[in-house]
């Protein structure tokens, strides 16, 4: 399980977008962890990890 989470976090960090991150931070009032990855990219990452 830790391996899957590590893969997921690494992939999210690789596809991170500074503009998306700033936009999401403005949207939420509370402090959250945001990578700034578009939803379509997150779906693709999840599909790839699910195949492994």
* Pairwise CA distance, residues 19 & 24, whole Å: 9
Mean pLDDT of the chain: 89
Q: Where are the alpha helices (DSSP H) in 1-52?
A: 2-14, 18-27, 39-51
* Pairwise CA distance, residues 39 & 37, whole Å: 6
Average pLDDT over residues 2-20: 90
Instruction: Say if residue 3's pLDDT is above 70.
Output: yes
- The H or E element containing residue 33 is none
In tens, the pLDDT along 31-47 reads 888 899 999 999 999 99
Share of the chain above pLDDT 90, in %: 42
């Amino acid at each position: 399980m830790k391996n899957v989470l590590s893969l997921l976090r690494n992939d999210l960090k690789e596809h991170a977008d500074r503009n998306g991150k700033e936009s999401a931070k403005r949207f939420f009032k509370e402090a959250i962890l945001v990578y700034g990855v578009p939803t379509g990219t997150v779906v693709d990452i999840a599909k790839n990890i699910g195949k492994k």
